[in-house]
């Protein structure tokens, strides 16, 4: 009966195991199928997304190419329409020999610029001149543009000195039309004709060949004009709006990269599904077989657990002590067990150490480990003990020992525990301790160790045995990093640090505070001795520094302070040494300077002036004087340059050369510039419609990102038209941050502000910046006017600058005109504008307004 009950119970348990296994396997199969279906859906979604991204990318490329061609045409039509010669030969009179035969506006526009149509329409709307496909014809513009012709001409004439572009369809093909009024440009004193100006029109038809060429350049497949209205509605397509007509549509063939992904991945997913199905079937069969055998294995596991019960107590004790390798001794301290990890850590064989005393393996600097274990009473304290052992290679290692007393029947029978190799941890702690007091790159003392050294040695410093602190800075180190990279810069710092350390005595210190800034602390009784050592430092630093293929030579500036004569506190010594270092750098570098009380006084006076500037900004202590600027050819007053003045007492003025650099250094230049802009724009508002005011902009302002917004706020608040504000900018900003400067200048030009190069000829920028940056004019620096026109060299330079400005279509202004001879010679050179003491000194606003009234009488 008992055997039958046991059989039925076992059969029920086997049936339960099989049912649970089947249910789990069905769930797993469903999950795998769901994952496969989800993978297929994701592949289709990704393919669809790739197709859409490809279409959007192609559309972006075509739109960029279309707009780029539009901008090129606008530039071309401006060049021809705003041209004095074109004005004389196309508007004042129609000179077809000049235009077509001499190819000033002839077949070359079709051959070189691919313009199918070029038209000149007079003020009455009649087409006076037309070139179709490089041939001069009598075709009117209306035959190409139809009803859009009148609108185009009207809008073009309303805009005055601007060109416009329109998207149109001509003969069923997309086309671009640009137009501009024909004006004299910058050529003065040309006669005029009554009535509206003539209009110059360029037409560029995107023929199938042009569209194919554009597609090849943009990697777009078969761009073409729609063949029907239904084709124009299909995707993909590029739509460009027109004025008063059907939009311009360009169709192309989509690349459809997603289809390639589908054809690649779907067969793989199908193959994967078949493979998973076969594997799952095999796994199910194998799992069901294992479920039947699980009960038999359970019985075997019970037997194994009883066999392992005796060893559980040992490993439970050892689990309480984090271990690397395990040891066990008898009551006398002889080793009776070592784990296999022992050989991996120490390199020793286990059998060679069994039976040997624990003290032979592990040692402690002050006592025997076995004696220590036996003296601990009932239980060994669970506190790690640091010990040492020798590896098989003879290397001394550091271990951390944990131990526990073994007791049987209440009596101590031995000890067991673990030893962890902590050699690397101990070394790392020592390294961390070293780095906390030393510079990581050079190994010199850091700021913490410097502070401790100064604190401990300042108490011993006397007038007869002073402590010398030298703040040392490498001259022109930043360009090394910028030119050769930080790897070379770090190598330079390491070699210089070694040289400095080699010159320090036993009770002296060399420290690095960061970058190329070093502090040297030395004991030297006499001033001559200190300077002798400074010369030695200079010679050591000036020796060539080798880094790979680079050989560099450096110099250093040093500031010297003496304790206790100058200061007796670490922070004060370092501050004063830094002040002296600043004086050494300001005096030309490559030298040393002793600290003196006058330096602190000078620094204090600069701080007081900075505070005075802040007060002046809040109390309206600044004022503006205006120096008149004249048109040299007719003597008319063109405008004035705004010059800031600061009066601190009745007869005391502070020159801008003194307070502007301080404002730039201390972040006050933007506030001053905002005040000047607002005051100058407000004052100039009632000078007349054509007269402008010129304001100088500091290069520091180009380092920020808000200059355009600040100028816009000043114009809006004052009501001054942007075209009557001129900003003078030094040429050096074009190479300090060229990309940022170009972006800011373009923003200012978008406001309508005039931009002029100030002090032209004194900077280092290349002439190419006159073409790259959107300047309206340039000013000849006054340094070239001192010997003009007497000096042939000055005469040639000024004439060259005038010619250069004319070549770039820039307004040329001469400043510093102090004699009638200079004025007359500038007129001969056709210089347009000028200013200087001969023409008028800077004057307050009231005096300048009186001058305006005299001019307007």
Q: What is the pLDDT of residues 621-671, one digit of tens each?
A: 899 999 999 999 999 999 999 999 998 777 788 888 888 888 887 888 899
pLDDT at 534 over 70: yes
CATH number of the domain that residue 849 is part of: 3.20.20.450
**pLDDT-derived band at 320, boundaries 50, 70, 90:** very low
Of 226, 253, 280, the residue at which a domain comes to its end is 253
Those residues with Cβ within 8 angstroms of residue 375's Cβ, 6 or more apart along the chain or in another chain = none
Query: Of 427, 449, 472, which residue sits at a domain end?
Result: 427
Q: Which of 219, 253, 287 is the last residue of a domain?
A: 253
Residues 6+ positions from 685 with CB-CB distance below 8 Å: 718, 719, 720
pLDDT (tens digit per residue) in 186-216: 778 788 888 899 899 999 999 898 888 888 8
- pLDDT for 327 equals 86
Q: What is the pLDDT of residue 291?
A: 64
> What's the pLDDT score for residue 377?
56
Percent helix, strand and coil across the chain, each rounded to 5?
50, 25, 30
Would you say residue 547 lies in a domain? Answer: yes
pLDDT at 23 over 80: no
CATH number at residue 374: 3.30.450.20
| Residue 29 domain-assigned (yes or no) | no
Distance of CA 844 to the CA centre of its chain: 44
Task: Tell me if 459 is assigned to some domain.
Answer: yes
Q: Is residue 786 part of a domain?
A: yes
Handedness of CA 112, 117, 123, 129 (dihedral sign): positive
- Supply 624's token pair: 């503006």
Residues 631 and 694 in one domain: yes
Does residue 328 surpass a pLDDT of 60? yes
More confident residue, 492 or 322: 492
Same domain, 687 and 804: yes
397 with 457, same domain? Answer: no
Establish if 514 belongs to a structural domain.
yes
Tell me which residue range forms the domain holding 86.
Answer: 58-253
Q: Do 506 and 652 reside in the same domain of the chain? A: no
Decide which of 94 and 476 is more confident.
94
Please count the residues of the chain: 857
pLDDT score at 378: 55
In a domain, 764, yes or no: yes
**E strands of 319-392, at which residues?**
325-330, 335-338, 385-390
User: Strand order in 411-421's β-sheet?
Assistant: 335-338, 325-330, 411-421, 396-408, 385-390
User: Which is more confidently placed, 804 or 254?
Assistant: 804
- The pLDDT of residue 313 is 56
CA end-to-end span of the chain: 139
Cα dihedral across residues 812, 818, 824, 829: positive or negative: negative
587 and 617, same domain (yes or no): no
Q: Taking the mean position of all CA atoms in its chain, how far away is CA 549? A: 29
pLDDT tens digits for range 760-778: 866 555 566 778 889 999 9
Residue 382 or residue 415, greater confidence: 415
Residue 8, pLDDT > 80, answer no
Let me know whether 706 and 737 are in one domain.
Answer: yes
- Picking from 239, 168, 173, the residue whose alpha carbon sits closest to that of residue 201 is 168
Mean pLDDT of 70-77: 89
Say if residue 723 is in the same domain as residue 669: yes
Angle between helix axes 486-502 and 527-542 (nearest 10 degrees) is: 140
Domain count, the chain: 4
My answer on whether 541 and 634 are in the same domain is no
321: pLDDT strictly greater than 50: no
pTM above 0.75, yes or no: no
Domain CATH code at residue 505: 3.30.70.270
User: Which residues, including other chains, have CB under 8 Å from residue 314's CB and lie 6 or more apart?
Assistant: 416
**Same domain (yes/no): 531, 639:** no
Please give the average per-residue pLDDT across 820-826, as a whole number. 93
Same domain (yes/no): 690, 735: yes
Q: Which residues lie below 8 Å from residue 832, measured CB to CB, with a gap of 6+?
A: 631, 632, 633, 811, 812, 813
184 and 118 together in one domain:
yes
The average confidence (pLDDT) of the chain is 84
Task: Decide which of 7 and 585 is more confident.
Answer: 585
| Residue 81 near residue 89, CB atoms below 8 Å | no
Residues 397 and 522 in one domain: no
Is residue 641 a part of any domain in this protein? yes
Residue-wise over 284-317: b if at least 16 C-beta within 10 A, else e?
beeeeeebeeeeeeeeeeeeeeeeeeeeeeeeee
Q: Where are the alpha helices (DSSP H) in 82-160?
A: 84-86, 96, 108-111, 142-145, 148-159
Residue 31, in any domain of the structure: no
pLDDT of residue 696 exceeding 70, the answer is: yes
Q: Which residues contact 613 (CB under 8 A, 6 or more apart)?
A: 659, 662, 663, 666, 668, 672
pLDDT of amino acid 425: 83
Three-class secondary structure of residue 645 per DSSP: strand
pLDDT range class, residue 840, cuts 50, 70, 90? very high
42 band by pLDDT with thresholds 50, 70 and 90 = confident
Give 125-161 pLDDT, tens digit per residue: 899 999 999 899 999 999 898 888 888 888 888 887 8
Interhelix angle 2-81/257-319, rounded to 10 degrees, is 130
């Amino acid at each position: 009966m008992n055997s039958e009950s046991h059989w039925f119970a076992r059969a029920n348990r086997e049936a339960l195991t099989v049912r649970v296994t089947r249910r789990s396997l069905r769930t797993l199969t469903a999950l795998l199928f769901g994952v496969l279906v989800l993978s297929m859906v994701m592949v289709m979604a990704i393919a669809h997304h790739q197709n859409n991204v490809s279409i959007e990318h192609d559309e972006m490329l075509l739109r960029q190419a279309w707009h780029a061609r539009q901008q090129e045409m606008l530039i071309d039509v401006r060049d021809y329409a705003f041209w004095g010669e074109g004005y004389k030969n196309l508007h004042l009179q129609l000179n077809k020999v000049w235009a077509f035969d001499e190819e000033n506006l002839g077949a070359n526009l079709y051959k070189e610029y691919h313009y199918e149509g070029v038209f000149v329409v007079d003020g009455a709307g009649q087409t006076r001149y037309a070139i179709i496909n490089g041939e001069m014809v009598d075709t009117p513009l209306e035959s190409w543009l139809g009803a859009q012709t009148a609108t185009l001409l009207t809008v073009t004439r309303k805009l005055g000195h601007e060109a416009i572009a329109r998207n149109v369809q001509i003969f069923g093909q997309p086309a671009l039309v640009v137009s501009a009024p024909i004006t004299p440009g910058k050529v003065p004193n040309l006669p005029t004709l009554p009535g509206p100006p003539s209009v110059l029109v360029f037409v560029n038809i995107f023929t199938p060949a042009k569209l194919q060429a554009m597609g090849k350049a943009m990697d777009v497949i078969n761009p073409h004009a729609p063949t029907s209205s239904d084709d124009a509605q299909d995707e993909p397509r590029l739509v460009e709006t027109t004025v008063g007509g059907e939009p311009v549509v360009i169709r192309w063939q989509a690349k459809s990269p997603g289809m390639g992904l589908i054809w690649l991945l779907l067969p793989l997913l199908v193959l994967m599904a078949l493979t998973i199905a076969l594997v799952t079937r095999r796994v199910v069969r194998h799992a069901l077989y294992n479920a039947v055998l699980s009960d038999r294995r359970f019985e075997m596991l019970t037997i194994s657990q009883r066999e392992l019960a005796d060893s559980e107590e040992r490993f439970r004790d050892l689990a309480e002590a984090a271990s690397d390798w395990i040891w066990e001794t008898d009551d006398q301290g002889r080793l009776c067990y070592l784990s296999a990890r022992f050989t991996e850590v120490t390199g020793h064989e286990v059998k060679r150490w069994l039976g040997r005393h624990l003290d032979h393996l592990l040692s402690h600097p002050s006592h025997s480990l076995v004696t220590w274990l036996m003296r601990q009473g009932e239980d060994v304290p669970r506190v790690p003990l640091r010990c040492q052992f020798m590896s098989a290679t003879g290397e001394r290692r550091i271990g951390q020992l944990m131990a526990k007393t073994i007791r049987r029947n209440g009596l101590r029978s031995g000890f067991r525990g673990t030893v962890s190799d902590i050699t690397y941890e101990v070394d790392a702690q020592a390294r961390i301790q070293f780095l906390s007091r030393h510079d990581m790159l050079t190994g010199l003392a850091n700021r913490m160790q410097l502070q401790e050294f100064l604190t401990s040695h300042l108490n011993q410093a006397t007038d007869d045995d002073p402590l010398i602190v030298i703040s040392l800075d490498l001259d022109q180190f930043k360009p090394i990093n910028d030119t050769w990279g930080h790897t070379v810069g770090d190598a330079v710092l390491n070699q210089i640090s070694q040289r400095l350390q080699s010159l320090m005595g036993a009770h002296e210190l060399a420290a690095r505070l960061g970058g190329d800034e070093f502090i040297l602390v030395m004991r030297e009784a006499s001033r001559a001795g200190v300077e002798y050592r400074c010369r030695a430092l200079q010679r050591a630093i000036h020796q060539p520094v080798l880094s790979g293929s680079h050989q560099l030579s450096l110099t250093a500036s040093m500031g010297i302070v003496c304790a206790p004569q100058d200061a007796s506190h670490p922070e004060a010594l370092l501050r004063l040494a830094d002040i002296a270092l600043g004086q050494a750098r300001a005096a030309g570098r490559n030298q040393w300077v002793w600290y003196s009380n006058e330096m602190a006084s000078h620094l204090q006076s600069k701080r007081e002036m900075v505070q005075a500037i802040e007060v002046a900004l809040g109390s309206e202590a600044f004022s503006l004087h205006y120096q008149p600027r004249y048109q040299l050819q007719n003597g008319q007053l063109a405008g004035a340059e705004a010059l800031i003045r600061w009066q601190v007492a009745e007869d005391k003025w502070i020159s801008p050369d003194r307070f502007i650099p301080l404002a730039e250094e201390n972040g006050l230049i933007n506030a001053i510039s905002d005040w000047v802009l607002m005051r100058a724009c407000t004052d100039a508002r009632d000078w007349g419609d054509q007269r402008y005011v010129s304001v100088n902009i500091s290069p520091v302002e180009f380092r920020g990102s808000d200059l355009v917004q600040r100028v816009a706020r000043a114009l809006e608040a004052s009501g001054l038209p942007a075209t009557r504000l001129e900003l003078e900018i030094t040429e050096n900003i074009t190479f300090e941050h060229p990309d940022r400067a170009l972006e800011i200048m373009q923003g200012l030009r978008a406001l309508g502000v005039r931009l002029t190069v100030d002090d032209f000829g004194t900077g280092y920028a290349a002439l190419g910046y006159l073409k790259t940056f959107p300047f309206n004019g340039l000013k000849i620096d006054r340094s070239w006017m001192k010997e003009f026109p007497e000096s042939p060299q000055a005469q040639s330079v000024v004439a060259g600058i005038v010619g250069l400005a004319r070549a770039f279509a820039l307004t040329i202004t001469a400043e510093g005109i102090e004699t009638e001879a200079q004025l007359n010679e500038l007129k001969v050179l056709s210089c347009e504008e000028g200013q200087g003491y001969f023409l008028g000194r800077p004057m307050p606003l009231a005096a300048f307004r009186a001058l305006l009234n005299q001019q307007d009488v």
